[in-house]
Amino acid sequence: MQRLRIDKDIRSMSEFRTGIASFLKQVHDTKRPLIITQHGKGAAVLLDVGEYEAMQEKIELLSDVQESISQIENGKGIPHNSAKDMILKRISK
């Protein structure tokens, strides 16, 4: 995801209402999120679908890594060679 550009990527709800199509195109073309404000405060974030999906995949991967670290710290890990043998058996079937 591209970095937010404060001068271009923060818009009020009234601006968003009147220019929805152009803001959708902006988000799609730039891959940057659009912050929508209401009464001067952040109310919503508009993301490109591909950027959203990529973000979800990263979150899932990081969650898996964190769970793995937790399991290892709690003594639930298995040695590398055992894991390798298990995987090789599965893919050779």
Say what the pLDDT of residue 4 is. Answer: 83
Question: What is the structure's pLDDT at 1?
Answer: 79
Fold topology of 6-48: YefM-like fold (3.40.1620)
Give the mean pLDDT per block of 10 residues along the chain (93 residues): 86 96 96 96 96 96 95 90 92 83
At residue 33, the pLDDT reads: 96
- Are 33 and 9 a contacting pair, CB within 8 Å? yes
In sequence order, the 6+-apart residues with CB closer than 8 A to the CB of 45 are 33, 34, 35, 36
Q: Provide the pLDDT for residue 50.
A: 95
Q: Please give the Cα distance from 13 to 76 (Å, whole number).
A: 50
pLDDT of residue 37: 97
**Residue for token pair 């058996």:** 89
